[in-house]
Amino acid sequence: MWNQRRANAWLWVELCIVTVLLWYGIDLVYNYEGAAWQPKGYDTSCVFDLTVGDKPLEVINDADNQQAGKDFAYLYNLIKDYPGVEEVCAYHGSIPYTGDAMFEGFASHTDSAHVVSCFIRYVTPSYFKVFRLKPIAGQLDEAHWSPAEYPMPALMSVDLADSLFHQPNVADAVGKTCFNPYWLKRDNPVTNYRVAAVLPRHKLDDYERYEPFIYLPAQQAFWWQHVAIRVAPDQVAGFAERFRKDMQPVFDRGIFYLNTIRSYDDMKEAYDIQQGTVNYLNTVYAVAAFFLFNIFLCVFATFWYRTRKRRCEVALRMAMGSSRRTVMGHFLLEGLALLLLAAVPALLIAFNIQLADLTVHTLVDVSATRFVGCFCVALLLMALIILAGIWYPARQAMKVQPAEALHDELSCTDIGRHILITKM
């Protein structure tokens, strides 16, 4: 490496710059894919969303209106008994993958001036089983999940609990009370909510940041709410079509009709298309892939040319008694050594770019884990490209007979002298 220090110096600079650029591209992709991999705080797999519509006023009579509550209760129970259904719940407020969001503010009784705005969702007791909520502190008590309880039970995400109570330990928030200042001017204000359990971080969409979130009990299931249906895994395929075919005539009862039934996976796909997320991500990933391909060509071609240019050295090393494995190992280790030498300034440059807040972190916060992980992936990809650029031309050069290389003695004099000195 020292004898070729001039050529290696330029290569070192190239590797340093390309490593930084590759890290930046990987970090950009991580901002979106990292957000998509994060759990939402509740499980929507195998869950279907059902909405019930009400008929136009001109076809509704007073008897149907008076019977509406009983009719919906009847339909709600029929959903529970449908083949393949495991659990059913009703809820309203902030709905995943729809853009429908409800915000309210809450404050602790110890600091009433500090109001934290959060997403809110009113749910029936079976919601916890449908969406498989798993508290990180406290426990879910379905028997006492009712707006008639005082203090009214509430479930909070860890973000909301931390913002309201500032407890060093998440479990310390369980049992704490808070109130909604916007309800104080109402005729029947609710002034006391008790934290029954603290939940993991929540968000409404895969490509969103975590936000404070609260669950409050719904009085009962109503037709204007969303109905969530958890289906057995082996019944998911074609469930919506079967349900609509079998139940649409049944739902034509009184003022009601079956409006929509679709899986949350389908809702996510439709919502991403509607919001332009798919087109945006396709553009970002296409640019990143094109950029990565250019890096591959640049680094691969450089090491390919560099290794082919040293065919004479390969032959002479083999003539001096080195095995093919030894020669191959020498060239591969030399390439990796150059990468490691370039990684040191590249790491410093990338770190300063991170400190200057020049990276994209709209969805996933900057962290040491993110920085180190993305930089290590960049180094790994660079190493693979370098190894590929060395291995094949070196393997081809090893097929040259040493005697043939000795005919090119004039061009190999310096290299041969260096090898002899090394051997001695």
141 pLDDT band, cuts 50/70/90, is confident
3 pLDDT band, cuts 50/70/90, is low
Asked if 93 and 102 count as a contact pair (C-beta separation under 8 A), the reply is: yes
424 pLDDT band, cuts 50/70/90, is very low
391 pLDDT band, cuts 50/70/90, is confident
What is the structure's pLDDT at 409?
A: 45
What is the structure's pLDDT at 420?
A: 44
Cα–Cα distance measured from residue 102 to residue 217, given in angstroms and rounded to the nearest whole number: 15
Token output for 334: 């030399």
User: How many percent of the chain have pLDDT more than 90?
Assistant: 56
Q: Which letter does DSSP use for residue 144 in this model?
A: G
Token output for 311: 């065919």
394 pLDDT band, cuts 50/70/90, is confident
What is the structure's pLDDT at 321?
A: 62
Asked if residue 395 has pLDDT above 80, the reply is no
Q: What is the mean pLDDT of the chain?
A: 86
What is the structure's pLDDT at 293?
A: 87
User: How many percent of the chain have pLDDT more than 70?
Assistant: 87
Secondary structure of residue 155 in the 3-state scheme: strand
**Type of residue at 191:** T
Cα–Cα distance measured from residue 152 to residue 177, given in angstroms and rounded to the nearest whole number: 9
What is the structure's pLDDT at 46?
A: 96
Element (H, E) at 242: helix 239-251
Average pLDDT over residues 268-276: 92
Token output for 351: 């770190």
Asked if residue 81 has pLDDT above 70, the reply is yes
Measure the CA dihedral 195/197/198/202, to 10°. Answer: -100
- Nearest to 354, CA basis, from 374, 340, 381: 374
**Type of residue at 97:** Y
Most confident of 117-126, 165-174, 215-224: 117-126
* Alpha-carbon Rg for the chain in angstroms: 32
Tell me, yes or no, if the pTM score tops 0.85: no
Secondary structure of residue 131 in the 3-state scheme: coil
Other C-beta atoms closer than 10 Å to the C-beta of 422 total 9
Backbone angles phi, psi at 396, to 5 degrees: -65, -40
Place of tokens 């029929």: 78
How does pLDDT run across 296-355, given as a tens digit for each residue?
888 888 877 777 776 666 666 666 666 767 777 777 888 889 899 999 999 999 999 999
Average pLDDT over residues 113-142: 93
The contacts of residue 363 (CB under 8 Å, 6+ apart) are: 31, 32, 34, 35, 207, 208, 209
How does pLDDT run across 210-259, given as a tens digit for each residue?
999 999 999 888 888 999 999 999 999 999 999 999 999 999 888 899 99
What is the structure's pLDDT at 397?
A: 63
What is the structure's pLDDT at 181?
A: 86
Asked if residue 19 has pLDDT above 80, the reply is yes
Asked if residue 288 has pLDDT above 80, the reply is yes
What is the structure's pLDDT at 1?
A: 52
Asked if residue 262 has pLDDT above 90, the reply is yes
The contacts of residue 390 (CB under 8 Å, 6+ apart) are: 303, 304, 307, 331, 332, 335
What is the structure's pLDDT at 419?
A: 46
